[in-house]
Structures are given as structure tokens and as C-alpha cells.
Structure 1
């Protein structure tokens, strides 16, 4: 009886986890649409890609709700208490939001310097520079590369340390060291996972916005599960 109740509780936690990651995706989607609308109002639609890239910085925060999906080294799911997550999520939200604001400040400067030297933003922030011609393509390419880099860094310094803390709990420093060691040992996979996540955000929000609600949470869940499995395998093989 207790075993069946434990199984049903774990199943319930997983359902909640999937629901929360979809809800987080929905929030990001609505925010992106509001931003896109106002950027269009001020004829700054080119900047939208920078906001899309910035959303990737929230991946460590969103991935926290996926922890009920984690398997331990015995291949079993441990009991997860969401109240513990919600008790500490406020500080994480503040840090992630600050990172997003810092990136957007830099993005505004880059846009004003290289894309539109006469834009509304250039006048508001008093950014003066010599005309450099139309560098819209370069701006897009730069943001795509940066989105991939944000995704890679988010996994290494955000997703993986939290995952390792749940499985091994080596301490803050130890978790980060283990994360970097894992990333170094699986460079190719980490780059691929980063590309998958970055593409699921940028390509969908830019060219097929409603697909974001399917591809982003699906990609994030799949990558998270793969990281969990790979880490367990690498730990067992040591």
C-alpha cells in the first residue's frame, strides 16, 4: 500500500513538474509578445532577437521545476518537495532578472552602435557614433552565436551545479567544479545541447512563435533528462 502511494506521489510530482515548465514557457511567450509589440511600435523590431537571446538566461530558473524528474544513481526517483523549491526561488528570480537587465542594456548599446545610429534608443541614451552602414545581418548573427553561448553557460553554471547538488551534494564549490569537469569531458554533447535549446528559443520566437510553446519545454526537458543520465553514467564509470 505504501509503495503504491509512493509511486502515485512521484507520478503526481512529475505531472506538476511538466505543468510548471509549460507554465514558465507560457510566461516567457507572453512577455516576448508584449515586447515584440512595443518594439514594433517604436520601429525597433530588429532588437527583438536580443530579447529572445536574453530569455535563455532564465533556463537555470526554469530547470529547477524539472528536479522531480531526476533519477538518482540507483536509477530511482527521490521524493521532491516543491515547498523547498519555492522557499528559495525568490532569490534566484532576482539574480536571473538582473542578468537579463544587464544583457539588455548591452544589447541596446550594440543595436544603437551598429544597426540604427538614429534610432529612438540612440537619442534616449545619448549614444553618438559615426555611421557604419547597415549591419543588421551581423547583428542577427552575433545574437545567434550569443544565444548559443548563453545556453551553454546556463547549463554549465546553472543547470548542472543544481543537478549535481541534488545527486551528490559536494558543496557549492564542489558542485561547480564537478559541473565544469563534466562539461570538459563532454564538450561535443554540451555544445549540441546548447544549440538545441538556443534554436528552440530563437527560431521559434522569430519565425514560428506558437511552436515555442511545444519545442522549448520539450527540448529543455529532453536535455535535462540527458544531462541527468550522462552524469550518472560518468559517475558510475569513475
Structure 2
């Protein structure tokens, strides 16, 4: 061990890397409960749980490198993105976990509240929010629930060459819309959507994917600002919203 590296830290949780071990400190033990159980149930590669002593969870580092990062062009091959699509499909085909996810009514209410906050506080122009709220409407429909990761950013998927070595950060897992996972995974990497869908192996409604891009970005801006992140960085959430105009 040469150093202790802060991977992410904010008021809700922090993740430290100590050698080949990640230490996750979370104020909400329910999130850690879900993360541990989801990793045990998911039929895809996940990190090994080394030990748990609330509020700390220790997991082993997975080999390989992150498939991508929001705001940065991915150097991973089309085959790697397609392989990730196949892994996502395997997760979605698995039996549902025993806990629920976010419901449609709650999601719509959250979206309305965030849109109002963004405009009232002058964070984003009203026309930008209004247009993306209109696009997001296509996601607000009943969906058949599947086992979703819930926060499937491409930086949470690790690859070695074209093979998936691990999928991390399962604290938002639960029942959800398959297209939400696909949209989260391709957010800011629209050019990779075709590769992912090819690997996923079935036709998807691209309008709903686009809707989830808008919806997720609208919901994320306030949280990111309040926790010290920059949604205005090139290629990140605000640029995703602008791309819908």
C-alpha cells in the first residue's frame, strides 16, 4: 500500500481506496444492505465483499479499467460496449430482487419539483428545462419491472480488453425500467448506443432512451451542484440537455 486515495466524498457517503481494497462509508445503512444483497444476486461479475462493519463496507478492487467516463470520449472498443450490453441484458433477465424500486408517481413528482427548482433559481434557462421536460414525458409510462442496477454509469463497468471484469456500485439496484439502465449507461456517449443495443440483443425504443437521458439529467443537476460536482462540464449533464434542443 502506497497511499490512501479518496475516490469520491460528499455529505452522504465516501469511498476510499487503500491498496486493492475499497472502503465505502455510508450514512444510510439501507443503501449498503441493498448493495451487498444485489451483488450476491446479480448474474454478472461484481466485486468481492471482504468484510462489513457498519458504517463501512470493504470490497476488493476489480481488475481492468472503467469502460468510460462522462465528458470524456471512450477509448474502449465497440466489442467491449456490445459485451456490456449483453451483460446488462443478462441482469435484466434475472429474477427480480425482493425489494422494490422507485415508482412512476414518485418519479414524476420528483421531476416536476426539480424542473421548478432549476428555473426558479436561475440554474438553467426556462426553455431548456421546458423542452427537456417534454422529451422526458416519453419515459413516464408503465414499464415491465426488471432487475436494474439503478446507477449504471459506464464508469461503473470495468473491462479488460473486450471482457467485463466487474460492475460496481449497486446501492440503487432494484425493480426498474430496463431502458433506464441502458440510458444511464450511454448518457453522454450517444455514439455508442448502437453497439450497446446490438449486444443487448433486442430492439429498444430509442425515443424512450432519449427521454431517460433528459429525465436523468434534469434530476441530477441540483444534486451535483449541491455536492460539489459540475454538471456544466463539457459533455456532462447540461450538455446532454442542450443536445435535445
TM-score (norm 1): 0.24
Structure with the bigger percentage of helix: 1
Structure with the bigger percentage of strand: 2
TM-score (norm 2): 0.24
Which protein is bigger by CA-based radius of gyration?
A: 1
